[in-house]
Amino acid sequence: MTRPLPRLLLIAGLVAAMLLLVGLSLMAGRVRVPFSAWTDTADPRWAIIFALRLPRTLLGLAVGAALGMSGAAMQGYTRNPLADPGVLGVSAMAAFGAVMTLYLGAGASQNWVTAGGAMAGALAGVAMLMALSGRASSTLTFILAGVVLNTVAAAGVSLALSLAPSPWAVSLIVNWLMGSLADRSVEDLRLAAPLIALGCGLLLLTARALDALTLGETGARSLGVNLAATRWLLAVGLALTAGASVAVTGVIGFVGLVTPHMLRPFVGARPGALLIPSAVGGAALVLAADIAVRMTPSAGEVKLGVAMAALGGPFFLVLLLSMRRRMA
């Protein structure tokens, strides 16, 4: 029923690509650091690699894995290849939660407050998504529920911006919303990585249920799957992964949409088997995009979230057109 070797090969290939990108990510930047300086702690350039670039690289890995896996889990649960935390409004709700803490002034001083706000927003988003789409969870109702969430969250963010106490708060919020890995510290990593790891662990527990959901909700229930437990694992897992990544990097869209879609044919379309490859692939994708924005010759750095949106928009369009052709 499974052919384990090709799947292991796929994961191994993705891990190799990811490690290569980790190396490139450590090398990429305005300052060229020769390899001799990598091992010489006395060299001032050693700090560039290990104090500045390494946290950024590791954070890229963690956030990419979180976004990739949460996209795969959402697509599996909704049985909809257009689902991802961004499209269905979970990221926007997380951002709204985080913006509220920034607006109220608490988040600016304490990272974990922002993270808590983002996770609470994401959890509320997932809960509203499940409530809005109801039992008859068709592709269309999920997308429409996502539209509702995105609208609500955007309105909330706009409200916070328009009522912001100072221009400084506005620029803080706007900068953060655009999504970036630049200038993140070890503290950000220390905050997000354990939450993301826990969230990914919870999402992995849904793999069997996601496979069974290939036959729809009734089919899955007749196979002994506990859908209520699956929904809880999924909701908390998504809140942790999407919430923690949005909290430290802002909104980076489309990773969760693109990665599972590209890797699906390689795992024989099994939604449960897609989770781990999507996590590794998502990490690789975020690292590659982050290297690209660092290498872009411009006065300021292009924001990663903006770059991903520029990449993901056309991809979404192509996906939509191919789906329409298949349905017609």
Partner 1 sequence: MSTLGLAGVHVSLGGAPVLRDVSLAFAAGSVTAVVGPNGAGKTTLLSCLAGLRAPGRGAASLDGEPVLTIPSRRRARRIGYLEQSPEIAWAVDVRTLTGLGRTPYLGALGPTAEDCAAVEAAMAQAAVQDFADRSVASLSGGERGRVLIARALAGDPAWLLADEPLAGLDPGHQLDAAALFRRLAVEGRGVVVTLHDLTLAARMADRVVVLSAGAVAADGPPRQALTPEVLARVYGVEARLSEGAAGLLVEISGRLG
Interface with partner 1 (CB under 8 A): 1-2, 79, 208, 211-216, 218-219, 221-226, 264, 268-271
Nearest to 74 by CA among 208, 210, 266: 210
Q: Which is nearer to partner 1, 58 or 130 (CB)?
A: 130
| Distance of closest approach, residue 271 Cβ to partner 1, in angstroms | 6
Of the pair 224, 297, the CB lying nearest partner 1 is at 224
Residue 231 Cβ, how far from partner 1 at the closest point, in Å?
15
Closest by CA to 248, choosing from 181, 300, 194, is: 181
Smallest gap, in angstroms, from Cβ of residue 148 to partner 1? 23
How far is the C-alpha of 307 from the C-alpha of 295, rounded, in Å? Answer: 12
Give rounded-to-5 percent helix, strand, coil for the chain.
75, 0, 25
Phi and psi at 59, nearest 5°, equal: -65, -40
The residue among 264, 255, 316, 256 whose CA lies nearest residue 286 is 255
- Residue 213 beta carbon to partner 1: minimum distance, rounded to whole angstroms: 7
Q: Considering the complex, state which of residue 34 and residue 224 has its C-beta at the smaller distance from partner 1.
A: 224
Q: How far apart are CA 38 and CA 202, in angstroms?
A: 37
Which residue, 45 or 221, has its beta carbon nearer to partner 1? 221
Here the tokens at position 293 are: 């924005």
The nearer residue to partner 1, 226 or 322, going by C-beta atoms, is 226
CA dist 224 to 208, 220, 227, 228, 273, Å? 11, 7, 9, 12, 19
Q: Identify which of residues 220 and 247 has a Cβ nearer to partner 1 in the complex.
A: 220
Q: Which tokens in the block code for residue 156? A: 């909330």
